[in-house]
Amino acid sequence: MKVLVTGAAGFIGAALVEALAQRPEVGRVVAFDQSEPAVKGPKIEPVTGNLAYAPTARSLVVESGDGRVDAIFHLASLVSGGAEQNFELGMKVNFDATRDLLEAARIAGHSPKFIFTSSIAVYRGVNLEVTDDTRPSPRLSYGAQKLMCEVMIDDYTRRGFVDGRSVRLPTVLVRPGAANTAVSGWSSAIIREPLAGRDYVCPVGPHTRMACISVSRVVDSLLHAMEIPADDLGPDRTLLLTGITASAQTMLTAVQQATGGKPLGKETDGHVTLGQVRFDPDPAAQALMDSVARSTFSARAARLGFKHSANINEIVDEYIQGRTS
């Protein structure tokens, strides 16, 4: 089995590439991104390029020259804040590149699995509790672009060009390294920075809530989405993942409970206490966060065997174990 992963150098992509390479039925993982993925292995072929350049998709899917691509995991995107700041680039990366990949799959002619990471940014509403029945209504260009891709994937699936599966992700924690341009970036920083012994000013209030899931649950969900029989999905190929509710304060409390007030030794440059967090809400950031989903629940995903995170403590513990192992 040959698998293509776009966005392979990213937070979720790197974890997915590593998981795919461990599966016996997968013979080769083409790991594509603008920079070479950090994950290495005999099954992993790193490929670099720019997916906003239209011929790139065909080179990855149609002209690979050594066997057809059986499954495409399309994770590459320009995240919410970036897509809002640069509309043209957001359309090129989030929408046009997806269409280019779908067209490449159509030209290839063998209807590969096409697993797409969508987002709960397709919804909006104050303190929204999202379920399978909640109507999408994007507030940001990023959410609109993701929703357009979902519709397009359903149509390419109906026509038999791909076997599509779109997965709407809650906020995925905990992102390592520097913050990206995602509007939810604070939710990783409020966990990551104190554990590294660094102080952090949180741009939203302590009672700000959002729907969360761990990266390991997302990877498991993407692999599960690939495996579900097409007949079990039916014509609607978009799935919502359940995300647990967590506030900024409960995230910080989970960090304090997990460590006994001590930072992770290998990251802290000699610090012996957790970094301090100060809440200083930015009006624009707060207004935006007040309009996103604070929880998601999908009965359909549960019926199909998808698993969600148990609570924020589980997510924090997973991050700590990953950083100290």
CATH number of the domain encompassing residue 94? 3.40.50.720
What's the mean pLDDT in 272-284? 89
Within a 13 Å sphere around the CA of 85, how many CA atoms are in the beta-carbon half? 8
pLDDT at 80: 73
For tokens 């506030």, the residue is 247
Q: Please report which helix (H) or strand (E) contains residue 206, including its range.
A: none
Q: Is residue 66 part of a domain?
A: yes
pLDDT of 73 over the 70 cut? yes
Q: Three-class SS of residue 26?
A: coil
Same domain, 271 and 195: yes
pLDDT at 127: 62
Mean pLDDT (the chain) is 91
Same domain, 235 and 195: no
Q: How confident is the model at residue 298 (pLDDT cuts 50, 70, 90)?
A: very high
Q: Is residue 261 part of a domain?
A: yes
Same domain, 117 and 204: no
Is 206 exposed, middle or buried (CB count within 10 Å of its CB: 0-12, 13-18, 19+)? middle
Q: Is residue 304 part of a domain?
A: no
Same domain, 224 and 259: no
Q: Determine the Cα angle at 306 with ends 300 and 309, to 5°.
A: 115
Same domain, 270 and 195: yes
Of 230 and 180, which is predicted with more confidence? 230
For tokens 């490929």, the residue is 47
Q: Is residue 302 part of a domain?
A: no
Please say if 142 is a catalytic residue: yes
The region of weakest confidence among 180-189, 214-223, 224-233 is 180-189
Asked if 315 contacts 173 with a C-beta cutoff of 8 angstroms, the reply is yes
The CATH number that applies at residue 203 is 3.90.25.10
pLDDT of 64 over the 80 cut? no
CA dihedral 239→244→248→249, nearest 10 degrees, is 180
Same domain, 158 and 237: yes
Same domain, 121 and 77: yes
Same domain, 48 and 100: yes
Of the candidates 142, 156, 200, 319, the residue annotated as catalytic is 142
What's the mean pLDDT in 209-234? 96
What is the percent of the chain where pLDDT is above 90? 76
Overall pTM surpassing 0.95 (yes/no): no
What's the mean pLDDT in 168-177? 92
Cα 139 from Cα 114, distance rounded (Å): 26
Residue finishing a domain among 243, 261, 284? 243
Cα 104 from Cα 130, distance rounded (Å): 34
Same domain, 164 and 126: yes
Cα 107 from Cα 91, distance rounded (Å): 22
Same domain, 236 and 287: no
Q: What are phi and psi of 163, to 5 degrees?
A: -110, 85
7-55 pLDDT, tens digit each:
999 999 999 999 999 999 999 999 999 998 888 999 999 999 999 898 9
Same domain, 150 and 12: yes
R_g of the chain computed on alpha carbons: 19
154-166 pLDDT, tens digit each:
999 999 999 999 9
What's the mean pLDDT in 255-264? 80
Q: Three-class SS of residue 66?
A: coil
- Residue 277 is which amino acid? V
Cα 143 from Cα 146, distance rounded (Å): 5
What's the domain range around 136?
2-170+214-243
Same domain, 316 and 180: yes
The maximal CA–CA distance of the chain, rounded, in angstroms, is 59
pLDDT at 261: 67
pLDDT at 268: 47
pLDDT at 260: 75
- Residue 189 is which amino acid? A
Q: Is residue 43 part of a domain?
A: yes
pLDDT at 179: 58
Cα 31 from Cα 224, distance rounded (Å): 19
Q: Is residue 262 part of a domain?
A: yes
Q: Is residue 115 part of a domain?
A: yes
pLDDT of 290 over the 50 cut? yes
How many structural domains comprise the chain? 2
